[in-house]
Amino acid sequence: MGLGGGHKLMGWGRVFLGGGVVALPYAFMGCCVPPPPLTRCTLCSVAPGDTIFAVSSGHGRCGVAVIRTSGPGSGGALLSLTGSTELPPPRLMTLRRIRDPHTAELLDRGLVVWFPGPQSFTGEDCAELHVHGGPAVLSGVLRALGRLSGLRPAEPGEFTRRAFHRGKLDLTAAEGLRDLIHAETEAQRQQALRQMEGELGRLYQRWGETLTQALAHIEAYIDFSEDDNVEEEVLSQVDEAVRALEQEIAAHLQDGRRGELLRSGVHAVIAGPPNVGKSSLLNMLCQRPAAIVSPIAGTTRDVVEVSLNVSGYPVVLSDTAGLRDATDPIEQEGVSRARDRLQHADLVLAVLDATTVPTDPAELGAALGSLVPPSTPCILVLNKADLLGGHKGALCDACTHGPPLPPTTLLSCKTGEGTDSLLQLLGQQLAQLCGDPLAGSPTLTQSRHSTQLHGCMAALVLYRQQQDVGMAAEQLRLARRHLGRITGHVGAEDILDVIFRDFCIGK
Ligand X SMILES: Nc1nc2c(ncn2[C@@H]2O[C@H](COP(=O)(O)OP(=O)(O)OP(=O)(O)O)[C@@H](O)[C@H]2O)c(=O)[nH]1
Out of ligand X, Mg ion, none, what residue 280 binds, judged by CB under 5 to 8 A for its kind, is ligand X
In the 8-state DSSP scheme, what is residue 26? G
Choice from 384, 481, 489, 507 touching ligand X (CB under 6 A): 384
Q: How many Cβ atoms sit within 10 Å of the Cβ of residue 275?
A: 19
Out of ligand X, Mg ion, none, what residue 298 binds, judged by CB under 5 to 8 A for its kind, is ligand X
- In the complex, least distance from residue 321 CB atom to Mg ion, rounded to whole angstroms: 7
SS3 annotation, 310-338:
ECCEEEEEEECCCCCCCCCHHHHHHHHHH
Out of ligand X, Mg ion, none, what residue 294 binds, judged by CB under 5 to 8 A for its kind, is ligand X
The CA distance from 432 to 435, in Å, is 5
- In the complex, least distance from residue 417 CB atom to ligand X, rounded to whole angstroms: 8
Query: Interface with ligand X includes 322 (CB under 6 A)?
Result: yes
- In the complex, least distance from residue 319 CB atom to Mg ion, rounded to whole angstroms: 6
Q: Which stretch binds ligand X (CB under 6 A): 222-230, 374-382, 384-392, 420-428?
A: 384-392
Choice from 14, 132, 267, 414 touching ligand X (CB under 6 A): 414
Q: Which residues of 124-145 are buried (b: 16+ CB within 10 A; e: fewer)?
A: bbbbbbbbbbeeebbbbbbbbb
For Mg ion, give the closer residue by CB, 185 or 279. Answer: 279
Is the omega angle on the peptide bond into residue 118 within 30 degrees of 0, that is, cis?
yes
Query: Interface with Mg ion includes 300 (CB under 5 A)?
Result: yes
CA 43 from chain center: how many Å? 44
Q: Which residues of 434-451 are buried (b: 16+ CB within 10 A; e: fewer)?
A: bbebeeeebbbbbebbbe
Binding to ligand X by CB under 6 A, coded x per residue (else -) over 215-254, reads: ----------------------------------------
Query: Interface with ligand X includes 294 (CB under 6 A)?
Result: yes
Q: At what angle do helices 493-500 and 158-165 cross, to 10 degrees?
A: 150
Query: Interface with Mg ion includes 383 (CB under 5 A)?
Result: no
Choice from 318, 412, 443, 446 touching ligand X (CB under 6 A): 412
Query: Interface with ligand X includes 318 (CB under 6 A)?
Result: no
Out of ligand X, Mg ion, none, what residue 263 binds, judged by CB under 5 to 8 A for its kind, is none
Choice from 80, 205, 279, 487 touching Mg ion (CB under 5 A): 279
- In the complex, least distance from residue 365 CB atom to ligand X, rounded to whole angstroms: 21
The CA distance from 46 to 38, in Å, is 12
Query: Interface with ligand X includes 409 (CB under 6 A)?
Result: no
In the 8-state DSSP scheme, what is residue 156? B
User: In terms of DSSP bridges, do strands 51-55 and 62-70 run parallel, antiparallel, or are they unpaired?
Assistant: antiparallel
The CA distance from 472 to 466, in Å, is 5
Residues whose CB falls within 8 Å of the CB of residue 329, separated by 6 or more in sequence, listed in order: none
- Residues at the site binding Mg ion, with contacts judged by CB under 5 A: 278-279, 299-300
- Residues at the site binding ligand X, with contacts judged by CB under 6 A: 274-280, 293-295, 297-300, 322, 383-384, 386-387, 412-414
